């Protein structure tokens, strides 16, 4: 997100002030209350375009796709993960701010921040093949095999139908009962939702059934390895490679793309709660 509101940024600082940290070099967790912090290690490091204001990342069948933001600079890209070279690029209209990105059945779905539009492309050609209406701001998106999950910068995750993008239901994210606001970039993997929290280097691992935070990743150690990054160069890019079970991680204006091996999430799923009542589809004319 551009998200330049200082007040909201300060609120995030207070929100995460009580969370424990991990070793900057290894990601080894320290003790904390609430959901545990799980460890990680860097398996590989690759170059990344330091001018890319990364908003979304997808890895499918050996191809890395990236969504970048900022008005007048937003783009959709196919990137060679090993070299950082941009293999294909499609620029968004200057009035659109690119956001989260997901791929389903050969189609790329790119969110826009405040334009209420989900841009749909052919993943092979980058040809535009459609557009869906989104009733909220668009921040992050992933698909769990059944439906899209979309974040809007609050503590709420909303499900949308794969074919129609009709709104299906929602769940509120909380850690030990405390809502987690500013949910941003999303990645669906291992039956969980991995969610970056805006303006932090933290990733919440969420139970999609009830929104409970099962674990945290603290990725601040990656920033330490780069050093000298501008204030806005925050963690913002998660993509899972299921074949090798690695996560690609980068950030806005980062010069590097990391491959991480992440520790398993503890078996601590909460008791299932009653399903959220379906929400009637929202028309484009709704407020």
How far does CA 244 lie from the centroid of its chain?
20
CA 209, 60, 55 angle in degrees (round to 5)?
70
Main-chain dihedrals φ then ψ at residue 7, nearest 5 degrees? -60, -40
Segments of the chain with pLDDT less than 70? 1-33, 267-287
Contact criterion met (CB below 8 Å) for 66 and 54: yes
- Give pLDDT, residue 131: 97
- Give pLDDT, residue 33: 53
Cβ atoms within 10 Å, residue 113 = 24
The reported pTM is 0.83
Contact criterion met (CB below 8 Å) for 58 and 239: yes
Contact criterion met (CB below 8 Å) for 151 and 203: no
Close Cβ partners of 73 (under 8 Å, ≥ 6 residues apart): 53
């Amino acid at each position: 997100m551009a998200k330049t509101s200082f007040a909201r940024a300060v609120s995030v600082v207070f929100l995460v002030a009580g969370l424990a940290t991990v070793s900057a070099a290894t990601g080894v967790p320290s003790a904390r209350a609430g959901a545990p912090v799980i460890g990680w290690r860097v398996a590989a490091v690759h170059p990344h375009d330091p001018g890319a204001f990364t908003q979304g990342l997808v890895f499918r069948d050996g191809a890395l796709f990236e969504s970048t933001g900022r008005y007048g600079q937003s783009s959709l890209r196919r990137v060679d993960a090993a070299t950082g070279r941009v293999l294909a690029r499609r620029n968004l209209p200057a009035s659109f701010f690119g956001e989260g990105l997901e791929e389903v059945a050969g189609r790329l779905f790119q969110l826009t921040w405040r334009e209420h539009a989900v841009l749909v492309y052919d993943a092979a050609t980058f040809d535009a093949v459609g557009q869906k209406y989104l009733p909220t701001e668009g921040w992050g998106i992933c698909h769990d095999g059944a439906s899209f999950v979309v974040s809007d910068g609050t503590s709420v995750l909303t499900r949308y139908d794969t074919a129609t993008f009709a709104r299906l239901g929602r769940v509120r994210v909380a850690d030990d009962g405390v809502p987690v606001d500013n949910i941003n970039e999303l990645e669906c993997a291992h039956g969980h939702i991995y969610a970056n929290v805006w303006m932090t280097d933290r990733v919440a691992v969420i139970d999609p059934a009830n929104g409970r935070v099962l674990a945290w990743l603290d990725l601040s150690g990656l920033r330490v390895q780069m050093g000298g990054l501008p204030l806005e160069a925050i963690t913002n890019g998660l993509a899972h490679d299921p074949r090798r079970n690695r996560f690609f991680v980068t950030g806005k204006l980062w010069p590097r793309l990391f491959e991480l091996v992440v520790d398993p999430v503890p078996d601590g799923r909460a008791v299932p709660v009653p399903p959220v009542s379906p929400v009637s589809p929202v028309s484009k004319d709704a407020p």
